[in-house]
A and B are shown apart, each in its own frame.
Chain A
Amino acid sequence: MQTLDPLLPPSPATGHVPLLQVTGFSKAFAGFPALDRVNLNLGHGEIHALLGENGAGKSTLIKTITGVVARDAGQLRLDGVDIAPRSAGEALTAGIATVYQEVNLAPNLSVAQNLFLGRQPTRFGLVREREMRRRAQALLAEFGLSIDVGAPLESYSVAIQHIVAIARAVDQSARVLILDEPTASLDAQEVEVLFAVMRQLKARGIGILFVTHFLDQVYAVCDRITVLRNGRLAGSAPIAELPRIELVKLMLGRELSEATAARPARAPGASGAPVAAFTGYGKTGYVAPFDLDLPAGHVVALAGLLGSGRTETVRLVFGAEKADCGTVRTAGAVAAVGSPREAMRLGFGYCPEERKTEGIVADLSVRENIVLALQAQRGPLRPLSRREQDEIAARFIRLLDIRPPDPSRPIGLLSGGNQQKALLARWLATKPRLLILDEPTRGIDVGAHAEIIKLIRELCDEGMALLVVSSELDEIVTYADEVIVLRDRAHVARLTGSQIDVPAILAAIADTPPGAAATA
């Protein structure tokens, strides 16, 4: 068969056959491995956290388990019996149910109809509404929920909708429940309600695979953690044997011994006047209020795990998301950043993380992509002449070394690194005072990495303020003047100057904040 991976999680101490046994799962998309010989054992009555950063392979693993995506290799056993579901429906029939972050129920139907859709009790072809409601009440009562099951689902909170979705799944004789980030849009109280349900299911012997970004939640309910990184099994251990700091290291793939990349002795930029200062800025349920100073000539980096609130912070700063508290001051005067247009008028620029969907216009040429933001800033009444466009494009292609140096080439045909440079050029052409870069080095090759980092430093030296989101701690350490660490949608630590090194950032990411929910 296959060689046993040294990281194969040991069977539960009881020696019983695990409830769900994933062995050697592999899956490649267009030649790139998304999953590489991943193993996972889920025991009866076990809550098993599945963790990993962006692109670690969590969703691919779930999709291959539920058969939504066909696996290239591997074996799936439920209670020791080989199964091979080919769709979510078949997985459900086999006993594996999935509840997603977006509640996949019909919001306009009653709670009872949602619980029993497709299997309503009927008599002579007519749904027995009263019987259905009675059963729905009884089913939800098992989860400590006493609500009017005749009311439409959408009249209830997302937490209750999740519980309804779970109740439906469990009632359809699910033995394995996969919860894919169910807590992302819940508040603390709602999370507790959900946890109570999870613990109850655990007592019934149901195995739960729990995907979340919130480490506090992992330690609050889970029995075991499996971490994926770059499509491989990074590690798996009982919760008691994996302290937070070790977990974060597993997720980010860092070893403390792997000493800090030498921090260049860079004069802490001739720190000018703050380009923008945010005070008590935040949005309920999005990011907790934070203070953020962005001085000219400074690089401020946002570090944290996936879902910690980094992108959310920069979206607030750029006005892509409207804050509901706090103030902004630019050049000492109170300003408003309610929309990207207003942000651009203040001299802000934003290169989003999702280059393909939010950044480039793939069918337009490199030149057109570069002048896009500048033209938008000037307004439609003052079009850039073709000559101006050519000059701007030529200058940035030379400056940033965009290859191939052909301004008329559709940008979609360029490599990731060159697309990223063209995007940078787009914002540089507007001469921004503050440039926001979200994961500027993601998905580009090593050579381009170095160039982009060099560019970040140069920009900074020219007096631009930079706000950078990055998962690459080594890189952050080389260019940041200030590192803000985020966890669970809040700014939790601020490191400056000589405090900035990889272990310090890791420790800040992993730490339990004082006064946070008690861990189990």
Chain B
Amino acid sequence: MTSSISAPAALGRLLPVLATTLVFIAGFLVCASIYPNFASMRVVMNLLTDNAFLGIVAVGMTFVIISGGIDLSVGSVIGFTTVFLALAIERWGVPPLVAFAMILLICAAFGAGMGAVIQYFDLPPFIVTLAGMFLARGLSFLLSTQSIPINAELYSHLSDYALRFGAGARLTVPAMIMLAVVASGMVLLHLTRFGANVYALGGSRTATALMGVNVNRSTVLIYTLSSALAGLSGIVFSLYTSSGYSLSAVGVELDAIAAVVIGGTLLSGGYGFVFGSFVGVLIQGLIQTYISFDGTLSSWWAKIATGLLLFAFIAFQQLTLHIAGRSGRRPRLATAGAAQS
């Protein structure tokens, strides 16, 4: 009798991710049927490369949202990172690898600070990371308002390096980094104690604390991870553009949140998968690619399509939750407990 119960339960949890994956595959097939060139390794590889920076922050955002929080600062942190790298490498003469290490540390400390403020002052993550967003963006403007090209040798090496699959299909360094981050994110979230704590925090914060989990440490770590990944995303972004600009990656935090939600993660926390967010990123990239293939559509249609998809997925999630609730397998916990005579 043991494993028979979990089959529908497990299916119910995987349903949103499955749906997202199906939407991506269906979308890809539609595109391929319209444009014969679409179904090629080259397009797939470009999809990975073009969305590498978004994929990396989306992994961090997945941890934050599953834990019941939100991180609005990641776009600004990416912008700050590109400016910092450009200045450090071009103006201050710091070797690129050292600059990478420095910015990762700075970003991690920034995230740890936000996590600590959220946890110890008991402030809503929305407000704290909103403040972080303004702070990081403002700091990058303080450093420079110009777009600064990066001409370091390492940059041209890294952008040249790629695994080639013929016919112009190249798995670039940014794409490799993103795939590695997605894979590590999956291991960290689904297979470690820390990952279990992230889910537990999203399920019930007070209960998690009462179960003896170090909630303070977990919260700080979650935001540290998100900001550090935003820093890594910034490095990738600067590799991709070979420049640093304080206005880069504006609004990326919202794209990342959209990818996470489209990927089946509940915005209220507790449920979700890293893989879903990855597919959510790919879907957004797919729309963008379709528009560039079409050539006549305004690129803003990408935003409109993303918006519609978000609506559709949120409605879908509510529907599956509703059905799961109606099937009676999710008994509510003592709701009438407050009333006593």
Q: Is the CB of B192 within 8 A of A126?
A: yes
Query: Taking the nearest CB of chain A, how far is it from the CB of B283, in angstroms?
Result: 25
Known: A104-B211, A108-B203. A309 touches B196 (CB 8 A): no
- Tell me which of A22-30, A142-150, A500-508 binds B: A142-150
Q: Among the interface residues A101, A102, A117, which one has the most CB atoms of the partner chain B within 10 A?
A: A117
Q: Is the CB of B334 within 8 A of A158?
A: yes
Q: Is the CB of A127 within 8 A of B206?
A: no
Instruction: Give CA–CA (A129, B193) in the complex, Å.
Output: 11
Q: Is the CB of A108 within 8 A of B270?
A: yes
B333 at the A interface (CB under 8 A): yes
A118 at the B interface (CB under 8 A): yes
Q: Which residues on B sit within 8 Å (CB–CB) of A353? A: 341
B202 at the A interface (CB under 8 A): yes
Q: Is the CB of A312 within 8 A of B13?
A: no
Known: A113-B196, A120-B196, A158-B334. A104 touches B204 (CB 8 A): yes
Q: Which residues on A sit within 8 Å (CB–CB) of B193? A: 118, 120, 122, 127
A217 at the B interface (CB under 8 A): no
Interfacial residues of chain B within 171-194, with CB under 8 A of chain A in the complex: 187, 191-193
Interfacial residues of chain A within 147-205, with CB under 8 A of chain B in the complex: 147-148, 150-152, 154-158, 161, 168, 184-185
Q: Which residues on A sit within 8 Å (CB–CB) of B167? A: none
Query: Taking the nearest CB of chain B, how far is it from the CB of A172, in angstroms?
Result: 8
Interfacial residues of chain B within 203-222, with CB under 8 A of chain A in the complex: 203-204, 206-208, 210-213
Known: A104-B207, A122-B193, A127-B193. A109 touches B337 (CB 8 A): no
Q: Which residues on B sit within 8 Å (CB–CB) of A148? A: 1-6
Q: Is the CB of A147 within 8 A of B211?
A: no
Q: Is the CB of B208 within 8 A of A108?
A: no
A211 at the B interface (CB under 8 A): no
Query: Taking the nearest CB of chain B, how far is it from the CB of A481, in angstroms?
Result: 20
Instruction: Give CA–CA (A185, B336) in the complex, Å.
Output: 8
Query: Taking the nearest CB of chain B, how far is it from the CB of A150, in angstroms?
Result: 5
Instruction: Give CA–CA (A127, B196) in the complex, Å.
Output: 9
A321 at the B interface (CB under 8 A): yes
Instruction: Give CA–CA (A484, B13) in the complex, Å.
Output: 48
Contact of A101 among B2, B213, B337 (CB under 8 A): B337
Q: Is the CB of A304 within 8 A of B341?
A: yes
A469 at the B interface (CB under 8 A): yes
Q: Which residues on B sit within 8 Å (CB–CB) of A161? A: 333
Q: Is the CB of B213 within 8 A of A117?
A: yes
Q: Which residues on B sit within 8 Å (CB–CB) of A309? A: 341
Q: Is the CB of B336 within 8 A of A105?
A: no
**Interface range, A side:** 35 or more
Q: Is the CB of B331 within 8 A of A157?
A: yes
Mask: chain A, 106-149; 1 = CB below 8 Å from B; 0 = not: 11110001100110101001110100000001000000001110
CB-nearest residue of chain A to B191: A126
Instruction: Give CA–CA (A469, B339) in the complex, Å.
Output: 13
Known: A104-B211, A107-B333, A285-B336. A306 touches B199 (CB 8 A): no
Q: Which residues on A sit within 8 Å (CB–CB) of B341? A: 302, 304, 306-314, 353, 438, 469, 486
Mask: chain A, 27-57; 1 = CB below 8 Å from B; 0 = not: 0000000000000000000000000001000
Q: Which residues on B sit within 8 Å (CB–CB) of A102? A: 333-334, 337
Interfacial residues of chain B within 305-341, with CB under 8 A of chain A in the complex: 329-331, 333-334, 336-337, 339-341
Query: Taking the nearest CB of chain A, how far is it from the CB of B31, in angstroms?
Result: 36
Q: Is the CB of A105 within 8 A of B192?
A: no
Instruction: Give CA–CA (A313, B341) in the complex, Å.
Output: 9
Q: Is the CB of A117 within 8 A of B2?
A: no
A89 at the B interface (CB under 8 A): yes
Q: Is the CB of B13 within 8 A of A152?
A: yes
* Subset of 23 A-B contacts with CB under 8 Å: A101-B334, A104-B210, A104-B211, A107-B203, A108-B203, A108-B270, A109-B199, A109-B203, A118-B197, A126-B192, A127-B196, A146-B1, A146-B2, A147-B2, A148-B4, A148-B5, A156-B331, A161-B333, A185-B337, A286-B336, A306-B341, A312-B341, A438-B341
Name 6 extra pairs, CB < 8 A, besides A113-B200, A122-B192.
A106-B204, A129-B191, A146-B1, A148-B6, A184-B337, A311-B340
Interface residues of B, Cβ cutoff 8 Å to A? 1-6, 9-10, 13, 187, 191-193, 196-197, 199-200, 202-204, 206-208, 210-213, 270-271, 329-331, 333-334, 336-337, 339-341
The 6 A-B residue pairs with the shortest CB-CB distance, nearest first, are A310-B341, A311-B341, A106-B203, A108-B203, A106-B200, A108-B270
